[in-house]
Amino acid sequence: MSTLATPTVDLQGLLREADVQPVLDQLDIELIGLAPVKQRIHEIAALLVVTRARKTLGLEASTPSLHMSFTGNPGTGKTTVAQRMADILHRLGYARKGHLVSVTRDDLVGQYIGHTAPKTREVLKRAMGGVLFIDEAYYLYRPENERDYGQEAIEILLQVMENHRDDLVVILAGYKNRMETFFRSNPGLASRIAHHIDFPDYSADELLAISGLMLTRMNYRFDAAAVATMREYIEHRLAQQHFANARSIRNALDRARLRQANRLLLMPGAIDADALMRIAAEDLRASRVFRGGRTESSNQTILAGPPPRTND
Amino acid sequence: MMTNHGSRLTQGQFSFLPDLTDEQILAQIGYALANEWAVNVEYTDDPHPRNTYWEMYGQPLFDLQDPAAILMQINACRRTFPDQYIRVNAFDSTRGWETSRMSYLVNRPAREPGFRLARQEVDGRQIRYRISSYATDKPERERY
């Protein structure tokens, strides 16, 4: 046996050095629910730390492919997590700059022959060193029109995803079932994506916690009665159409702020900071959600087609 | 007398040094991007020193964060024009500067024939000099 000490690496030290733990902790605190998503992010962070440790010991391996797909209903935090992901990858030294370039079909696909390739390449160049987030990626592929330029964009995307794996990470996002159809019709794309992460819908309790967090960030707070009303509101809203998870909650809070401002203006006398911060039960109670949400959804049900991203 | 052995074109930065490696080019582009200069890639087959405006390859490369994107453009240009001169410029748009801050060759033809110096005697035995690249005697596209 050799008397030389086997070289070792301190994984925890590497993790500390990468300064990634604060981001992961922040993710745990600021993102409510989403347990499977957080689990996956922790795993990816661990993988990158181990890859780095292996490199210090001379165990070269090809850099792991980190292209991802985020599937989930609207408002489940796909964009937010993508932003955090860019930060984490940057801290772990995987992405050189760690910026997020968020695009949709319009940014990638051109309008006439020869327009698509330069347009797609330009976006890809802009995203290099960071993360390219393609929202509603399934719109890139339009099977009903075989001359659609989306296919060209997908081909360029594939080429860059394969050849420039060190330079950028591509995240495709969209509704679960439509993404599945999209991947079925583009097997080349599906096989190049290592991480399929599904974002579950929030439960009523989680939504309530989210609403509290949102208010704190906006420097507002519920009073005791309002918390109960908010819970009731969420339960009503969940049963209604076009519910967009956290986005619906944010919209509800924005309208509550509107009503609160109106209420404060009608109040006589001077107002203290506490009154300016407090959202009362009546601000929420005035919502049409409590009346069955009829006035708006009567229109919406007639419109067929893709589900609206948000509506409340 | 031959002052430039091998007739290597000496224009722009680093031109008396051996050709830059891709790694060195990445570092130079990184410096330009860190200063928020706009980078572009140009090519020509007429290396006359007064030929200031070369052809731009592709679109100007604005809003980029990472040098790898520009190296991708350089490599695309090298594939298209393997036997022409290719240079990288970095333009500083700061008021007061508004000019190229960096310019260096990243590709040169395999064989560089150099320049011819012609002398012309004019009034009062004055001498006028004229230089032209031997390569430009041939039509475009056939020069290198």
ipTM: 0.74
- List the 11-40 stretch of A: residues with Cβ below 8 A of B: none
User: What is the rounded distance in angstroms from the CA atom of residue B131 to the CA atom of residue B113?
Assistant: 13
Average of per-residue pLDDT values in chain A: 85
Residue B43, SS3 per DSSP: strand
Asked if A118 lies within 8 A of B61 by C-beta distance, the reply is no
Confidence check: pLDDT of A189 > 60: yes
The string of pLDDT tens digits covering residues A128-163 is 999 999 999 999 988 888 888 999 999 999 999 988
Please give the average per-residue pLDDT across A282-311, as a whole number: 61
Write the residue in B59, B61, B66 that is nearest to A97 by C-beta. Answer: B66
**Which chain B residues contact residue A122 at CB under 8 A?**
59
Phi and psi at residue A132, in whole multiples of 5°?
Answer: -100, 120
**pLDDT of res. A258:** 92
- List the 127-146 stretch of A: residues with Cβ below 8 A of B: 128-130
- List the 67-126 stretch of B: residues with Cβ below 8 A of A: 68-70, 72-73
User: What is the rounded distance in angstroms from the CA atom of residue A215 to the CA atom of residue A234?
Assistant: 15
Angle at A216 between CA A212 and CA A222, to 5 degrees: 55
Write the residue in B58, B59, B68 that is nearest to A128 by C-beta. Answer: B68
Q: Which residues contact A239 (CB under 8 A, 6 or more apart)?
A: none
**pLDDT of res. A311:** 47
